[in-house]
Amino acid sequence: MADFLMPALGADMETGTVVQWLVQPGARVKPGDVVAVVETHKGAIDVECFLDGVIGELAPVGTSLRVGAVLARVVGANEPGPSIPSVTPAVQIGAAVAPPVVTRAPAAMPAAVVSDAGPAVLAAGSRRARVSPAARRRAQVLGLQADALRGTGPDGVVTLADVERAAAHSPSMAVPVAAPPRAKPGGFDAAQMRQAIAAAMSRSKREIPHYYLAESIDIAAAQAWLDAWNRDRPPPDRLLSAVLLLKATALALREVPQLNGFYESGQFRPGDGIHIGWAIALRGGGLVAPAIHHADQKTLPELMTALRDLVQRARAGGLRSSELTDPTITVSSLGDRGAESVWGVIYPPQVAIVGFGRVLPQPRVVDGQVLPRPVVNASLAADHRASDGHLGGQLLVAIHRWLQSPETL
Amino acid sequence: MNPADIRQLATDVLAGIAPEADLSTVAEHEDLRETLDLDSMDFLNFIIGLSQGSGVPIPESDYPRLFTLQGLVAYLSR
């Protein structure tokens, strides 16, 4: 018997809401199976289970749960346990958790539920919700952004009265909207995401002693290789320069594994693979950096496919929980319309972030002559608790070297 | 394809890439990438859609000719 908990999908997540269960009690699950869709500030995420066994009771749909709250009970595959599968009728999705069919009381489940019945829970450390649940619900019905309203309640909490007042003052919005209160599937709440980014980045700047290094890299060879690759291929098979930067970074990290992993409990823990969190700007504002797993082992076309898929799902919904929890480092590439350099803020508990600016034509000395060359500025921000600039420099130099021989990427 | 078909194709393709973008608000000579905030992945997806919808292969070296509405209509109606 084990508990499947609401995962922390990144350092910036405090709560999530199950919007759909994809399994029923009695279903057999294996690690990696997608069992639920959870709405977070990063949109709707497909949550994977990491337990092996049979699903018992499920947390109710539509309720905000704190990270670490019990989402489901899972009876181990080889446990004698109660025979839930055969005798218990499936609990209906959306219904409250059925009377416990197991002997142990589901103590953690109700305790962690954040609902309007639980002001005590809110008081116990929720920094996010400065909107009363009733106000939030009413605002959703009215199509108002509760977080954006001025609160007159205790400690500035937005109350039901505040929502009603706002509705009265904006007649166009006062008409109840027929649409369901939730944003479109996969959509994310920009204000909520901004708050979450603010919390994670504040923590990073407060706790992580960043050091910064930069290297300007002549990428004429990489660009010539890319042009030749793309020349005779139809558009769907073409590559973007971003995948070369991604692969070069992944291969460089093999040589400098001390920058690939996490700083936790006062020490560095290396990643179990090179899972690059690729920073994706979302239309309408916001940012998410889901993992491309084992980026060092993928070919360039495979990376291109992975990147395309990831961007698509980051924007439309359908990122998987492992993609949000697994990144061992972040790469932020500003692209051809971005600034010429970027100084990243480390996403905790990672220990480094690599940035690439826009490619610019620059005068460079090549074989004793000054020539115009395409140059990209690569930067590294790393955690001084886990490494020093000497090591960080080795990473940038390795990236530089890999980009000089693109045919080996 | 005639210009009207090309515009319709561009509108349809963009709807899948930037659902909130409204092509009718974009001036003929404006750079679509800037006006609609398309990054290189968005623009490649735009090219893929235009190429598949028109049957024109659109080599990478011709991309700059498709940066504006005016340009892409001229390019694809050849």
pLDDT at A79: 63
Based on the fold, state whether residues A235 and A303 are members of the same structural domain.
Answer: yes
Residue A354 is predicted with a pLDDT of 98
CB pair distance less than 8 Å for A284 and B48: no
Residues A212 and A276 in one domain: yes
* DSSP-based three-state secondary structure for B54: helix
* Cis, bond preceding A236 (omega within 30 deg of 0): no
Where are the alpha helices (H) located in A107-219, listed in sequence order?
108-112, 119-123, 133-142, 160-169, 171-174, 190-207
- Same domain (yes/no): A85, A222: no
Is residue A315 included in any domain, yes or no?
yes
Ranges assigned E (strand) in B1-78: none
Question: What is the reported pTM?
Answer: 0.74
- Rounded to a whole number of angstroms, the distance from the CA of B54 to the nearest CA of chain A is 13
Q: Are residues A145 and A17 located together in one domain of the fold?
A: no
Cβ separation A311–B41 shorter than 8 A: yes
Tell me the CATH number at A163: 4.10.320.10
- Contact between A384 and A391 (Cβ < 8 Å): no
Look at residue A174 in the predicted model and tell me its pLDDT: 35
pLDDT digits (tens, 9 = 90+) for A297-314: 999 999 999 999 999 898
**What's B3-76's CATH class?**
mainly alpha
Q: What is the phi-psi region of residue A155: left when phi exceeds 0, alpha when psi lies from -120 to 50, beta otherwise?
A: left
Lowest mean pLDDT among A190-194, A217-221, A383-387: A190-194
Residue A251: domain span: 208-408
Residue linked to tokens 């962690």? A112
Closest chain A CA to residue B55: A234
Which segments within A241-302 are labelled E, that is strand?
A: 261-264, 267-270, 276-278, 280-281, 287-288, 291-292
Average pLDDT, chain B: 91
Same domain for A325 and A259, yes or no, is yes
Per-residue confidence (pLDDT) for residue A143, from 0 to 100:
64
Q: Do A234 and B51 touch (CB under 8 A)?
A: yes
Q: The domain that contains A104 carries what CATH number?
A: 2.40.50.100
Interface predicted TM-score of the whole assembly (ipTM), two decimals? 0.92
Distance CA(A193)–CA(A314), nearest Å, equals: 13
Interface of A with B (CB under 8 A): 227, 230-231, 234-236, 238, 240-242, 281, 283-284, 307-308, 311, 335-337
Closest Cα partner for A19 from A185, A188, A189?
A: A185
Per-residue pLDDT of A204-247, as tens digits, reads 999 999 999 999 999 999 999 999 999 999 999 999 999 999 99
- Nearest CB to A283 within list B20, B40, B59: B20
Strands (DSSP E) found in A245-321:
261-264, 267-270, 276-278, 280-281, 287-288, 291-292, 319-320
Q: Which of A56-70, A132-146, A340-354 has the lowest mean pLDDT?
A: A132-146
How confident is the model at residue A87, as a pLDDT? 31
- Whether A385 maps to a domain, the answer reads yes
- Residue of A227, A240, A284 with shortest CB distance to B44: A240
> Of A313, A310, A402, A408, nearest to A354 (Cα)?
A402
Give the distance from residue B60's alpha carbon to the nearest chain A alpha carbon, in angstroms: 7
Q: Tell me: do A288 and A169 sit in the same domain.
A: no
Q: How many CB pairs under 8 A join A and B?
A: 41
* A293 & A366 share domain: yes
> B63: Cβ–Cβ under 8 A, 6 or more apart, which residues?
B43, B47
Cα dihedral B70, B72, B74, B78, rounded to 10, equals: -170
pLDDT digits (tens, 9 = 90+) for A36-92: 888 887 778 889 888 888 998 888 888 888 998 888 888 886 665 444 433 333 333
Domain count, chain A: 3
- In this complex, the residue of B37, B40, B48 whose CB is nearest that of residue A242 is B40
Domain annotation covers residue A104: yes
The Cα angle at residue B48 between residues A359 and A360, in degrees rounded to 5? 5
Nearest-CA residue of chain B relative to A285?
B37
Q: How far is A223 from chain B (nearest CA, A)?
A: 12
B39 with A231: Cβ contact below 8 A: no
Among B33, B40, B60, the residue with its CB nearest the CB of A231 is B60
Specify whether A228 is located in the same domain as A317.
yes
- C-alpha–C-alpha distance, residues A351 and A268, integer Å: 8
Averaged pLDDT for residues A331-358? 95
Distance CA(B73)–CA(B65), nearest Å, equals: 10
Same domain, A365 and A225: yes
Structural domain boundaries in chain B: 3-76
| Percent of chain B topping pLDDT 90 | 65
Half-sphere exposure for A262 (CA within 13 Å, toward CB): 16
At A374, which CATH number?
3.30.559.10
A284 and A366 share a domain?
A: yes
Q: What is the mean pLDDT of chain A?
A: 80
pLDDT of residue A102: 34
